[in-house]
Amino acid sequence: MGTSQRCTNKRSQLKHQTNRDSLALIESCMCVLCLDEPSGLEARDTTRALLMLHGGGREKNGANRWYDKSMQFVVGMDGVCGVVCEHSPFEGIVLVQCSEYVMKYIIGSPSKMATASSVRELPPPRRLLWKCNPHIQGLLAASGDRLERLVNNLDMDVFKFKVYGKEFIKKQKMSPDAFIQVALQLAFYKCSGRLVSTYESASLRRFQEGRVDNIRSATPEALAFVKSMTDERATYTDAEKMKRLMDAINAQTNNTVAAITGMAIDNHLLGLLKIAKELNMEKPEIFCDETYLASNQFILSTSQVPTTVEMFCCYGPVVPNGYGACYNPQSDHIIFCVSSFWENTETSSAVFVKVLNDGLVEIRDLCNRSSATATKLADVSQGASKPHKSGK
């Protein structure tokens, strides 16, 4: 081998090793800090959600992310801050607890944060070196184009429902989470005239190495309730609607308890499917059935992520014709983050939010009317039970 060829090979190896070293450093770090340029967009909740998810695209901060990293802290020059989570290592509640700890520490101890004794010295930042050739540049350009298409397709609507929050729901002796899930079913039914496979995450953290299972919220009881609420012939009385609401909430609550205690169906079926594959078995017939396949197309993907400080979580849909619906019930309001894709004509985040708002108000009115009726009947019954005074 000639000297010139040896030098060329060495240079190629050095280029390759430079990239390897930079990648290794990123992959071994605990988190990534993304320092964003000003977005130039209106600072509202929906905009903040989009900037966290995709940075506003290639022309803004879309390239200032490393989405394979478990945790990215985003700090913008215009004050837009948040955390981006890659879901594989942990659930949303872990991210919330970490973020709340940081926020409470900053809010509660500003002077402590400033003292030298409380801050650990970190090594100064250093620039990571990269060696790119025309092929890599072409891949980067193609990735930028794909990012733009994804950014332009995401329809996000962050909606704060201010009429009431979880305190009103608790006064009805109902689970806030089950109540909101039934309201989401009502909203989807109003939009499409049907219910669909719905995913609600159920934490399995009580089990060693547990992650999540699925609470299937589209129950027969929920269907019965939403039909009674949308019956144009007005053949259902408030008492009948209220009974169906309670049945739907009880069914949702029972499914939730079953899921978080390891008694749901989805993880067990997934385990059987994976075992069959590991044993080189022919795929069991159940996993080829169209009903099973349809049941795992989660057109409505939901999650409750409650917080104790003012923040919210969001994500995109999991199927092209679906919705993502993350919600955060607070004492006197509920924050919803509803997402869909613009290119699908069956979905619209703005329409879903409008219908969801109307449905939540209708359910409140139903509860209030039923409560007033029950109070009136109790007063009448109490009056009838009092002994009559007889005159002399």
* CA dihedral sign, ordered 168, 174, 176, 181: negative
Per-residue model confidence as pLDDT tens digits over 213-244:
999 999 999 999 999 999 988 889 999 999 99
Selected residue with higher pLDDT from 355 and 104: 355
Q: Where in the chain is the domain with CATH 3.30.559.10?
A: 162-374
Q: Which CATH number describes the domain made up of 10-152?
A: 3.30.559.70
Note the pLDDT of residue 233: 86
The residue-averaged pLDDT of 325-346 equals: 97
C-alpha distance from residue 278 to each of 15, 108, 282, 288 (Å):
39, 52, 10, 17
Residue 8 has pLDDT above 70, yes or no: no
Residue 301: band (very low, low, confident or very high) from pLDDT cuts 50, 70, 90: very high
Please name the residues in contact with 318: beta carbons below 8 A apart, sequence gap of 6 or more. 199, 298, 301, 324
Note the pLDDT of residue 10: 45
187's tokens: 């909203």
Lowest-confidence segment of 13-17, 333-337, 345-349 by average pLDDT = 13-17
Per-residue model confidence as pLDDT tens digits over 103-131:
888 887 655 555 545 667 788 888 999 98
Mean pLDDT of the chain: 89
Per-residue model confidence as pLDDT tens digits over 256-267:
999 999 999 999
Tell the residue number behind the tokens 């022919």, with chain if given: 282
Q: Are strands 300-304 and 323-329 parallel, antiparallel or unpaired?
A: parallel
Residue 109 has phi, psi (to 5 degrees) of -135, 55
Residue 247 has pLDDT above 70, yes or no: yes
Residue 42: band (very low, low, confident or very high) from pLDDT cuts 50, 70, 90: confident
189's tokens: 């039914």
Q: Are strands 334-341 and 323-329 parallel, antiparallel or unpaired?
A: antiparallel
DSSP string, 296-333: T--SEEEEE---SSS-------SSTT-EEEEEEE-SS-
Per-residue model confidence as pLDDT tens digits over 151-195:
999 999 999 999 999 999 999 999 999 999 999 999 999 999 999
Active site residues: 87
Q: Where in the chain is the domain with CATH 3.30.559.70?
A: 10-152
Note the pLDDT of residue 146: 95
Residue 281 has phi, psi (to 5 degrees) of -80, 160
Closest by Cα among 329, 348, 325 to 338: 325
C-alpha distance from residue 271 to each of 67, 264, 267, 275 (Å):
28, 12, 6, 6
Residue 55: band (very low, low, confident or very high) from pLDDT cuts 50, 70, 90: very high
The SS3 assignment for 36 reads strand
The SS3 assignment for 157 reads strand
The SS3 assignment for 240 reads helix
Note the pLDDT of residue 373: 87
Distance CA 113, CA 272 (A): 51
CATH superfamily of 162-374: Chloramphenicol acetyltransferase-like domain (3.30.559.10)
Distance CA 253, CA 200 (A): 12
Note the pLDDT of residue 114: 53
In this structure, the number of other CB atoms found within 10 A of the CB of residue 252 comes to 26
State percent of the chain over pLDDT 90: 69
Distance CA 30, CA 238 (A): 55
Note the pLDDT of residue 9: 47
Per-residue model confidence as pLDDT tens digits over 65-103:
998 898 999 999 988 899 999 888 888 888 888 889 888
Residue 355 has pLDDT above 70, yes or no: yes
Residue 385 has pLDDT above 80, yes or no: no
The residue-averaged pLDDT of 140-148 equals: 94
* Side chain identity at residue 314, one-letter code: C
Element (H, E) at 104: helix 92-108
* Side chain identity at residue 103, one-letter code: M
Q: pTM of the full predicted structure?
A: 0.88
